[in-house]
Amino acid sequence: MRDVRGPADDAGGGAWNVLLTGASSGLGLAIARQLLGDPRYRLVLTARAASLARFAAAGIVEGERVLLRQLDVTDAEQRRAVVAEIDERFGGVDVLINNAGVAFRSVLEHVNEQERLQQMQVNFLGPMHLMRLCLPGMRARRRGRIVNVSSVAGMMAMPTMAIYSASKWALEGATEALWYEVRPWGIHVTLVEPGFIHSESFRNTVWSREGERAAHEHDDGYRAHYDCMAPFVERLMRRARATPDRIARRIAALLRERRPPLRLPATRDAWLFYLLRRLLPRRLYHLVLWRGLPDTRRWGPGR
Domains and CATH numbers, the chain: 7-207+241-277 (3.40.50.720)
Binning pLDDT at 50, 70 and 90, where does residue 100 land?
Answer: very high
Residue 1 pLDDT greater than 50, yes or no: no
Nearest 5°: the CA angle 213, 215, 218 is 95
The answer to which of 24-38, 189-203, 221-235, 271-285 has the lowest mean pLDDT is 189-203
Q: What are the beta bridge partners of residue 70?
A: 47
* Per-residue model confidence (pLDDT) at position 25: 95
Q: State how far the Cα of 26 lies from the Cα of 283, in Å rounded to an integer.
A: 36
Query: Is residue 168 within 8 Å of residue 192, measured between CB atoms?
Result: no
Binning pLDDT at 50, 70 and 90, where does residue 199 land?
Answer: confident
Residue 139 pLDDT greater than 80, yes or no: yes
Query: Is residue 18 within 8 Å of residue 39, measured between CB atoms?
Result: no
Active-site residue identified among 41, 164, 222, 226 = 164
Residue 291 pLDDT greater than 50, yes or no: yes
Residue 161 pLDDT greater than 70, yes or no: yes
Q: What are the beta bridge partners of residue 195?
A: none
Active site residue 164: yes
3-state helix, strand, coil in the chain (%, to 5): 55, 15, 30
Nearest 5°: the CA angle 164, 33, 256 is 85
- Cβ atoms < 10 Å from Cβ of 168: 28
Residue 27 pLDDT greater than 60, yes or no: yes
Residue 267 pLDDT greater than 60, yes or no: yes
CA torsion, ordered 240, 152, 188, 254, to nearest 10 deg: 10
- Mean residue pLDDT of the chain comes to 93
* Per-residue model confidence (pLDDT) at position 137: 98
- Residue 158's nearest CA partner among 174, 169, 147 is 169
